[in-house]
A and B are shown apart, each in its own frame.
Chain A
Amino acid sequence: MSLRAALFDAALEVFDQKPWPRIRVDEETWIRAIFGLHAGDVILTALWGEPGHVHMGLIEEETGEVLVLSLACPDGRFPSVGVTHAPALRLERTLREMVGLVPDGCPDDRPWLDHSRWGLRHPLGAAEPAPAEGAPYAFLSAEGPPMHQIPVGPVHAGIIEPGHFRFTANGETVIRLEERLGWVHKGIEGLMIGADLDRAAALAARVSGDSTVAWSLAFARAVEAAVGIAVPKRAHWLRALMAEMERVANHLGDVGAVCNDAAFSQMLNRCGQLRERVLRAADVAFGHRLMMDRVVPGGTGVDLVDPRPIAETATAVREGFRPLIHLYDNTVSLLDRTVTTGRLDPALARRWGAGGHVGRACGRRFDSRRLPGYPPYDVLRFDVPVRETGDVDARVWVRILEIGESLKLIEQILAGLPAGPHRVEVDAAGAAGREGVAMTEAFRGDSFIWLRLDAEGRIARAHFRDASVFQWPLLEAAIAHNIVADFPLLNKSFNCSYSGHDL
């Protein structure tokens, strides 16, 4: 019997959560799941909480089956997952400061998103006033005479999001990188509480602007699962069309940017032009360059009237990108900077359940379009490119190949787009207490969402987990023993979201 099935058998109560179950377990079963994570039988996909309860989302990699365990914490404590399973550490630090639940045995008692600036503590639990003057933060040490520290951020040199990186270097070689995040924490999960579906959808669309389609889709699918409605076939296909255009645009931007960080600006320039064409096609077809707020519960906010601009753009991008692939692959000075740089250990990628190009550049085949899977990908043909070397080059290659796969998907969607309505009405009234979960594949990996509806059809509670949550710690591991000057390439090859992480 698989661990997932065994855990399910130990359920004390099964909650009304769709499409995957949520069960209440006792402490013994909770600890059994922790051992299962440690053994690699299941992957941790989320860890979050609400007053009195902590929730653990698990996914079985081979089947894509998801299970959510909930443990009651009457005395405000729960057995730490992070003490044996390091990927849970930052999630537990977040849980402790947001909800006020204490992970018993968690080896890291430092705050994470809470910089002592909010004027309150435990905003998602029993909030109480707290000082807002800020507090010093104890970075991990790396000591010895030749060591020096390089602090970077939160305001960075480029046009990017804010975060703080603390490098400890020995000459040019990075010995340790420690990230400090949370700067763009906007309190999204707090704002979701009591939000009606329109407002909640708008917030979900702004979890991470570059993945607005993927997050809107995750939100819509979770709401639809909770309410129990099926959306029209055309809506599934239009959503996938937007999601693939978003993927192409982001990968084009990042492939160009990685090369630019090796001072090879030609690639940035050319990729930037192709990216611009995709965004313009999105604007013409859907009325917004980033397709923000175009995927909504019940279907899509707009219908596709004329597919030709997208079809022409797909052809132009394929033809324009082909010589760029050749250029990347034949410029030795560029490859010198990307090949073997920033190697991520495949064992770490698996342990952290790294999604997207970060995982797939390390031989991990996970892609949530395949497993758990969602329409219309079950009837479309596409490959999930995988590389084994785990370096910057492998991540660039996975992205290059994914651009090709997404263009193939776009063409299939345009050729087979079903007729009919693109939206149905969603009536969430009467769905009180029902819960929905969803996982969608953003360009950087799987986006996981959980939500519960209240009696008025509003959001009672929601949790977002961006792929970046498990990719950020891996960036720290991948830069070790590389030179400081290679960090920009490595960072861009990951391109983790700050906003999606900080929420």
Chain B
Amino acid sequence: MPKFLIESLLRRPVTEKAPVPDEAALAELGRRLDALAHRRLGRSLAIREVDAGSCNGCELEIHALNNAYYDLERFGLRFVASPRHADVLMITGPVTANMREALERTHAATPDPKWVVAVGDCAFDGGLFAGSYAVVGGVDAVIPVDLHIKGCPPSPRALLEGLVALVEKSA
């Protein structure tokens, strides 16, 4: 253990350079974020992640944002355990019929101002699962979405570019 601590003090961090905010994300957000919300929230956003039906692939890559290479918290973004503490809901998966009410209630439990980020191809329009009896569709079939980050799953890099755009616009 002491060896690890000394090593950590002496070694350069593995954390990589910040990405440039994604242009498309900036454009999508530009239409939606108002100045008042910007002033209230400053540059710090609390995120509540909700799996509304995903295969868990998106969760793995969202998890990776917390590892030392991406270190999401340096951008003022952090994951919180309750929607009551959140500014941003990050939703994955095609919304299943069984998860619909839970998603609506999580959204209702999140105080305003709030943003919804739909992560992954399934969250965009149901993806591969669209048309199933058990699937409602993309996230915006249930709650309004401010930003889509596509991919199957989107890489941590792509997630970071989208989220950094969100902080830029909300600052």
Enumerate chain A interface residues (CB-CB to B < 8 A).
113, 115, 117-120, 123, 127, 132, 134, 154-155, 157-162, 182-188, 190-191, 199, 202-203, 206-210, 212, 253, 266, 269-270, 272-273, 275-276, 279, 283, 289-290, 292, 323, 327, 331, 497-499
Contacts and interface: CB of A to CB of B under 8 A. Distances in A.
B133 A159 contact: no
Nearest to A117: B97
B35 interface: no
A459 to B, nearest CB: 14
A118 B133 contact: yes
Contact of A272 (B68, B101, B155): B68
Contacts of A208: 55-56
A156 to B, nearest CB: 8
Interface stretch (B17-25, B58-66, B162-170): B58-66
Interface in B71-96: 79, 81-83, 93-94, 96
A187 B56 contact: no
Interface of B: 1, 3-4, 14, 49-64, 66-69, 79, 81-83, 93-94, 96-102, 106, 128-129, 131-135, 152-153, 155
Contact of B57 (A154, A206, A253): A206
Contacts of A188: 129, 132
B50 A118 contact: no
Residue from B49, B50, B98, B102 having most chain A Cβ neighbours under 10 A: B98
Contacts of A115: 97-98
Given A161-B51, A161-B59, A208-B56, A183 B99 contact: yes
Given A157-B82, A269-B68, A283-B155, 4 more contacts: A184-B54, A186-B135, A276-B67, A290-B60
15 contacts: A117-B98, A117-B100, A118-B97, A119-B97, A154-B102, A183-B102, A184-B53, A184-B96, A185-B96, A185-B134, A187-B132, A209-B54, A253-B63, A272-B67, A290-B60
Contact of A273 (B14, B79, B106): B14
Contacts of B4: 266, 270, 323, 327
Chain A at the B interface: SS class? loop
Given A160-B59, A276-B69, A498-B56, A289 B3 contact: no
Contacts of A190: 132-134
Nearest to A280: B69
Contacts, number: 142
Residue from A120, A134, A159, A199 having most chain B Cβ neighbours under 10 A: A159
A311 B112 CA distance: 50
Contacts of A276: 64, 67-69
Contacts of A184: 51, 53-54, 93, 96, 98-99
B57 A207 contact: no
B79 A159 contact: yes
B74 to A, nearest CB: 14
A290 B153 CA distance: 9
A209 B132 contact: no
Contacts of A187: 129, 132-135
A155 B102 contact: yes
B96 A209 contact: no
Contact of A186 (B59, B132, B153, B155): B132
A209 B1 contact: no
A327 B59 contact: no
A154 B104 CA distance: 12
Contacts of A160: 51, 59
A82 to B, nearest CB: 23
A290 to B, nearest CB: 6
A182 B81 contact: no
A271 to B, nearest CB: 9
A499 B56 contact: yes
Contacts of B83: 155
A195 B64 CA distance: 33
B3 A209 contact: no
B59 A209 contact: yes
Given A209-B60, A210-B60, A327-B4, A162 B68 contact: no
Contacts of A157: 81-82
B14 to A, nearest CB: 6
A270 B52 CA distance: 30
Contacts of A253: 60, 63
B98 A183 contact: yes
A460 B54 CA distance: 25
